[in-house]
């Protein structure tokens, strides 16, 4: 017989937790605690507005109860949308993101507390959820038909620990983040005739005002983004005339993708308030409906064309590294032996990013296969060239090979196939630097920047060339510009390595150590980095740290010696003062 103060009832239960809470706390404990206080206040206020109540809120978890499942769903979706917009100015890893699970079921209420299977199911669903998303049970889904205009994805039967299997759905909203969970392996949408490359569609930006001036401003933003994406020479772009058919229409990105044949959709909104303008841009995967990037830009009124150019460049520069991250991951997950040339290149890029000898060799094999699959693929030739350079720089090339000669031939072939590809000119610049042609290397990197001034990779390449030319200050300015354009770039470790070399060239050994150590955390097997880091430690009088770097250098390359370094510096025509200080530092560290 149940106690009088215990009640059984049907309730809508919301369970939420913060993604990566331990990482946020380790990065900024005090700041995270304050941000979490603000988040709880926001969630409590919104939950009350939708007729719910917060049952428990401890650490990064929150449990709430609603009388209406419709109100609970609407509240969850709005919370994710508001949080996504609020966190947009922060870099990806610093953003607070929630997972939310919703279930409709029996609970046992005891005073202000609730318990029972209904609460457990909501918690299990939250665990299945995606960052920024809302995961719901079949019981919730059955109640939504015709009541809320939401896109959804059927995740099928999912095992819930100690509860058996349950039909689960994922609601697609503005806060949704990409995840490979439940995606079909090899999922993609490509446009015929583009060698397997996925297409991008840029939709007209939404705007509440309909004045001719505002319409012209919005059109300029859209056209500018198209122009920026075209500079990459990577993806086919759906024509503006086709994308314009969705102007003013309410359609999910999945519908847009199906009708236009695009894998990625760029969309956004423009809002004015007095002399201020707010532009929100989003990048979504049209196959799944998942939003993979969102950013907000607040600006004051200014000269219209300058503002259009600034925003278009910023959006284009932010989207490019996101796609450089997404496509290799997608290609890696493909479960098919018959990869297109594009897919082989993208899978190879994933292997390159691991920076291990075996993975770089596997990447080289994939790039070589791609050049045979599509003999006119500039991307395949330039990436094959870069793989050969990486093997040479790490001492991984096979004996008897002449990797730089072969790499140079592939880079030049890539440019012949597509003279407007900035990445191919960048690859040529790196190779020319390694064969000692510094002036030609600088010219190649300058050409890459000319072709795409908003490319963080092109600017980083130019910074490398400037270090080789003995222009450390200019190099730092360029790599800082690259970091501002792409603050979460997959190549940040390379950016820091270039900073390390530039600081050493300028004699700022403390800064060289600081930036070198950051890069070393991601690139521990890079001999050149440990070489400069060891010399910098020695010039600072930190003998033990310098000796550690030399010991690791000898482990990575047993034949490493002062003579080898001197020959290498001579081959690439590094200035004599730089070379002298490197050799002096490493000799003090015990290298002979």
Tell me the three state secondary structure of residue 61.
strand
Q: How far apart are CA 483 and CA 182, in angstroms?
A: 34
Beta carbons within 8 Å of 32's beta carbon, 6+ residues apart: 21, 24, 25
- Cα torsion 396, 401, 403, 407: sign: negative
Give residue-wise pLDDT tens across range 61-98.
899 999 888 888 888 988 888 888 788 777 766 788 88
Predicted confidence band of residue 179 (pLDDT cuts 50, 70, 90): very low
Q: How far apart are CA 114 and CA 328, in angstroms?
A: 45
* Span of 136-150, 220-234, 520-534 with lowest mean pLDDT: 136-150
Q: Where are the beta strands (DSSP E) in 241-335?
A: 264-273, 276-285, 290-300
pLDDT of amino acid 180: 30
Q: How far apart are CA 127 and CA 121, in angstroms?
A: 10
* Span of 82-91, 288-297, 540-549 with lowest mean pLDDT: 82-91
Please answer whether residues 425 and 448 qualify as being in contact, where contact means their C-beta atoms are separated by less than 8 angstroms. Answer: yes
User: Is a pLDDT exceeding 80 seen at residue 552?
Assistant: yes
Half-sphere exposure of 294 (CA within 13 A, CB side): 23
Predicted confidence band of residue 173 (pLDDT cuts 50, 70, 90): low
Please answer whether residues 11 and 64 qualify as being in contact, where contact means their C-beta atoms are separated by less than 8 angstroms. Answer: no
Query: Comparing 465 with 153, which gets the higher pLDDT?
Result: 465
Give residue-wise pLDDT tens across range 500-528.
999 999 999 999 999 999 999 888 888 88
| String of DSSP letters for 192-203 | TTSTTPBPEEEP
Q: How far apart are CA 221 and CA 278, in angstroms?
A: 12
pLDDT of amino acid 247: 83
Q: How far apart are CA 42 and CA 53, in angstroms?
A: 13
Q: How far apart are CA 228 and CA 422, in angstroms?
A: 12
Give residue-wise pLDDT tens across range 302-342.
677 788 888 888 888 888 888 888 888 888 877 666 788 88
Q: Where are the alpha helices (DSSP H) in 90-137?
A: 117-128
* Span of 168-172, 366-370, 469-473 with lowest mean pLDDT: 168-172
Give residue-wise pLDDT tens across range 335-394.
666 788 888 999 999 999 888 889 999 999 999 999 998 888 999 999 999 999 999 888
* Span of 32-36, 270-274, 438-442 with lowest mean pLDDT: 270-274
Predicted confidence band of residue 112 (pLDDT cuts 50, 70, 90): confident
Give residue-wise pLDDT tens across range 203-217.
999 887 667 777 788
Average pLDDT along the chain: 85
Q: How far apart are CA 482 and CA 476, in angstroms?
A: 10
User: Is a pLDDT exceeding 90 seen at residue 253?
Assistant: no
Q: Where are the alpha helices (DSSP H) in 14-162?
A: 21-27, 29-49, 69-87, 117-128, 138-144
What DSSP element (H or E) covers 11? strand 6-18
What angle do the packed helices 378-393 and 403-417 form, to 10 degrees? Answer: 160
Please answer whether residues 328 and 353 qualify as being in contact, where contact means their C-beta atoms are separated by less than 8 angstroms. Answer: yes
Pairing mode of beta strands 264-273, 200-202: parallel
**H helix and E strand count, the chain:** 23, 12
Give the predicted TM-score (pTM) of the model.
0.63
Q: How far apart are CA 449 and CA 560, in angstroms?
A: 35
Domain architecture of the chain: domains with CATH: 6-172 (3.30.70.1230), 200-319 (3.40.50.10610), 384-588 (1.25.40.10)
Please answer whether residues 356 and 363 qualify as being in contact, where contact means their C-beta atoms are separated by less than 8 angstroms. Answer: no
User: Is a pLDDT exceeding 90 seen at residue 199?
Assistant: no
Q: How far apart are CA 533 and CA 536, in angstroms?
A: 5
Q: How far apart are CA 195 and CA 343, in angstroms?
A: 9
pLDDT of amino acid 5: 67
Please answer whether residues 240 and 331 qualify as being in contact, where contact means their C-beta atoms are separated by less than 8 angstroms. Answer: no
Q: How far apart are CA 130 and CA 289, in angstroms?
A: 13
pLDDT of amino acid 191: 47
């Amino acid at each position: 017989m149940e106690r009088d103060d215990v009640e059984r009832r049907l309730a809508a239960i919301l369970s939420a937790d913060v993604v990566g809470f331990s990482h946020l706390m380790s990065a900024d404990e005090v700041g995270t605690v304050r941000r979490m206080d603000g988040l709880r206040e926001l969630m409590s206020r919104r939950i009350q507005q939708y007729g719910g109540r917060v049952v428990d809120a401890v650490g990064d978890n929150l449990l709430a109860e609603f009388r209406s499942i419709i109100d609970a769903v609407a509240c969850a979706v709005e919370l994710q949308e508001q949080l996504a917009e609020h966190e947009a100015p922060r870099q990806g890893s610093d953003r607070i993101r929630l997972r939310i699970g919703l279930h409709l079921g029996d609970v046992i209420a005891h005073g202000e507390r609730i318990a029972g299977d209904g609460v457990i199911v909501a918690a299990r669903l939250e665990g299945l959820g995606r960052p920024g998303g809302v995961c719901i049970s079949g019981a919730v889904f059955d109640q939504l038909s015709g009541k809320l205009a939401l896109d959804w994805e059927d995740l099928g039967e999912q095992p819930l620990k100690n509860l058996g299997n349950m039909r689960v759905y994922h609601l697609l909203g503005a806060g949704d983040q990409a995840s490979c969970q439940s995606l079909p392996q090899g999922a993609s949408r490509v446009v015929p005739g583009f060698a397997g490359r996925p297409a991008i569609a840029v939709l007209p930006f939404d705007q509440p005002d309909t004045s001719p001036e505002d319409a012209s401003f919005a059109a300029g933003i859209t056209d500018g983004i198209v122009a920026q994406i075209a500079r990459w020479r990577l993806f086919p772009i759906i024509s503006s005339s086709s994308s314009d058919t969705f102007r003013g229409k309410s359609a999910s990105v999945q519908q847009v993708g199906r009708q236009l044949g695009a894998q990625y959709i760029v969309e956004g909104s423009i809002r004015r308030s007095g002399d201020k303008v707010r532009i929100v841009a989003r990048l979504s995967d049209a196959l799944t409906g998942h939003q993979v990037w969102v950013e907000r830009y607040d600006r004051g009124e200014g000269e219209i064309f300058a503002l259009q150019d600034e925003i278009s460049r910023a959006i284009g520069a932010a989207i490019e590294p996101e796609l450089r991250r997404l496509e290799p991951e997608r290609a890696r997950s493909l479960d098919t032996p018959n990869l297109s040339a594009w897919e082989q290149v993208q899978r190879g890029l994933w292997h390159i990013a691991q920076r291990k000898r075996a993975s770089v060799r596997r990447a080289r094999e994939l790039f070589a296969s791609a050049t045979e699959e599509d003999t006119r693929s500039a991307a395949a030739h330039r990436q094959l060239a870069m793989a050969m350079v990486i093997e040479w720089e790490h001492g991984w090339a096979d004996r008897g090979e002449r990797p730089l000669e072969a790499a140079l031939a592939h880079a030049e072939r890539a440019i012949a196939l597509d003279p407007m590809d900035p990445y191919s000119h960048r690859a040529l610049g790196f190779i020319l630097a390694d064969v000692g042609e510094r002036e030609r290397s600088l010219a190649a990197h300058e050409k890459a920047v000319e072709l795409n001034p908003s490319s963080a990779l092109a600017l980083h390449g130019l910074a490398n060339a400037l270090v080789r030319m003995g222009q450390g200050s200019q190099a730092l300015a360029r790599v800082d510009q690259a970091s501002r354009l792409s603050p979460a770039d997959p190549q940040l470790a390379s950016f820091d390595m270039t900073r390390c070399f530039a600081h050493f060239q300028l004699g700022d050994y403390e800064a060289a150590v600081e930036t070198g150590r950051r890069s070393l955390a991601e690139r521990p097997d890079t001999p050149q980095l440990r070489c400069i880091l060891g010399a910098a430690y020695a010039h600072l009088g930190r003998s033990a740290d310098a000796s550690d770097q030399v010991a690791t250098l000898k482990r990575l390359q047993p034949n490493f010696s002062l003579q080898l370094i001197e020959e290498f510096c001579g081959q690439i025509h590094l200035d004599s003062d730089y070379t002298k200080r490197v050799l002096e530092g490493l000799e003090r560290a015990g290298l002979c």
